[in-house]
Amino acid sequence: MSEAPKPPAELAPWEREPAAPQWQEAADDPVALALGEALGEALVSARTFAGDLTLEVRREAFRSACAALKERHDFTLLVDLCGVDFPKREERFEVVVHLYSFSANRRVRVKTAVGEGGEVPSLVPVYPAANWPERETWDMFGIRFADHPDLTRILLWEGFNGHPLRKDFPVEGIDTGAAIYPEYYEARQGPIAGTGTGWKVKNPPAAAPESGPEEKK
């Protein structure tokens, strides 16, 4: 690489600084147009990012929007369903579902917002594949899905205290022993994940905030 630096136009894409993709309005996308006609106000926005169409819909229309995508646009495969937590928003959770159409060979992302204690219509009647991902979303975020046939915890055990992928769930874990075995542990005296094998913890995080990182600064 002893040559003089090349002008930017001659550089290969991998030699340039990475250019982050931008959000673009996609109201004229045929799928977004048709869905907008069917849903009206309930379709909040239609945008693309890095080539993926993202549709935001109101919570009440979540199932009907996905059903319309399945029936009319052949999005027959539910790829994935998950939650995201934005604690500062008015409705803190987002439920994100990815659908795929074999005939159009494209993916679409449908999102809806839901607040603490709110319910999202379950997609299981439309896509049986949504069963386990919705259980996982309930398990990890505490988002309820209305009409789900079996909304129980899936990765954690029944009786676990809390929803670990929420942003306010401490990484070092919480005392779950007392919640399950009240006859053995007093409150905040049970085993805590991530603190070794000790049965009792001297300074349980919730009981001793003065040992927290904020105080040390």
- Binding-site ranges for another protein (CB under 8 A): 12-21, 23, 49-50, 52, 54, 76-80, 82, 84-85, 96, 98, 102, 105, 107, 109, 127-129, 131-133, 140, 153-157, 164-165, 169, 171
Cβ proximity to another protein: between 33 and 156 the closer is 156
Name the minimum Å distance from CB 48 to another protein.
11
Of the chain, the end-to-end C-alpha distance in Å amounts to 47
Name the minimum Å distance from CB 38 to another protein.
22
For 216, list phi and psi in degrees, rounded to 5: -70, -30
Alpha carbon separation from 28 to 24, 36, 48, 112 (Å, rounded): 11, 10, 11, 21
Q: Which two tokens stand for residue 120?
A: 């999202």
Beta bridge partners of 100: 77, 107
Cβ proximity to another protein: between 49 and 118 the closer is 49
Residue corresponding to tokens 């030699």: 15
Cβ proximity to another protein: between 88 and 202 the closer is 88
Name the minimum Å distance from CB 150 to another protein.
9
d(CA 61, CA 73): 17
For 17, list phi and psi in degrees, rounded to 5: -60, 140
Cβ–Cβ under 8 Å, residues 97 and 123? yes
Closest to 139 (Cα-Cα) out of 118, 105, 162: 162
Name the minimum Å distance from CB 37 to another protein.
26
Cβ proximity to another protein: between 36 and 162 the closer is 162
Cβ proximity to another protein: between 29 and 52 the closer is 52
Name the minimum Å distance from CB 9 to another protein.
15
Name the minimum Å distance from CB 40 to another protein.
25
Q: Which two tokens stand for residue 27?
A: 């109201």
* 182, burial (CB in 10 Å: exposed 0-12, middle 13-18, buried 19+): exposed
Cβ proximity to another protein: between 121 and 133 the closer is 133
Name the minimum Å distance from CB 186 to another protein.
26
Cβ proximity to another protein: between 37 and 128 the closer is 128
